[in-house]
A = this chain, B = another copy of it.
Amino acid sequence: MTELAEKDLGPWLSPENLQQVRAQVPMVYVNIIPVRLDHCGEIEAVALLLSGDADKGMARSLVGGRVLINEPIRRAIIRHLEKDLGPMAIPLLPPSIVPFSVVEYLSVPGSAYYDARQHAVAICYIIPIQGECKASEDALDIAWYTKEECWLPEVTDQISEGHALVLQQALTHLGASCGKK
């Protein structure tokens, strides 16, 4: 999961404090699948973030990050979408915060989904986007994929295993089988 949220914490949680807290309790995250829908609500495209990675070349990831102290989940979703897709994305938040998935990333090596830095509990949402997106960080780009493209190895190979699970959960939840041509 992206480190970008860290700087938003400002003076009240230094890197040292954050490291200490991460050793003591699970962190609450939101993982977001931004989608474009047609007027019937059918999925047209899914957004992933692209970033250069010294080790592996290109990497793709989901929008998302930490929920801050006393930050409602809805505000965390809006903040992370604005941070990653820009202020003109116009996300349509759903009427309920019941997630379509919850994924656990443990810091114990050998875990099904592993995060070396922390134990994170990610609450996952599919969020329709009505406006224009624009990468707000130099290091990042945004790419849109059809649901068929999301299943291609060249796309999934560049996503971390934990994010790939959430993407597949979203695709099947939206009715897009990996066997569909």
Contact = CB atoms under 8 A, between A and B. Distances in A.
A3 to B, nearest CB: 15
A73 B99 CA distance: 15
Contact of A112 (B119, B165, B175): B175
Contacts of A73: 102, 104, 121
A63 to B, nearest CB: 15
B173 A161 contact: no
Interface in A43-101: 43, 66-75, 78, 92-101
Interface in A148-174: 156, 161, 164-165, 168-169, 171-174
Given A35-B95, A169-B173, A74 B25 contact: no
B179 A178 contact: no
A128 to B, nearest CB: 6
A116 interface: no
Interface residues of A, number: 65
A23 B24 CA distance: 13
A137 interface: no
A10 interface: no
Given A28-B28, A169-B173, A177-B161, A40 B70 contact: no
B178 A178 contact: yes
Given A40-B74, A70-B108, A96 B175 contact: yes
Nearest to A35: B95
Contacts of A94: 41, 94
A107 to B, nearest CB: 6
Contacts of A74: 40-42
B177 A168 contact: yes
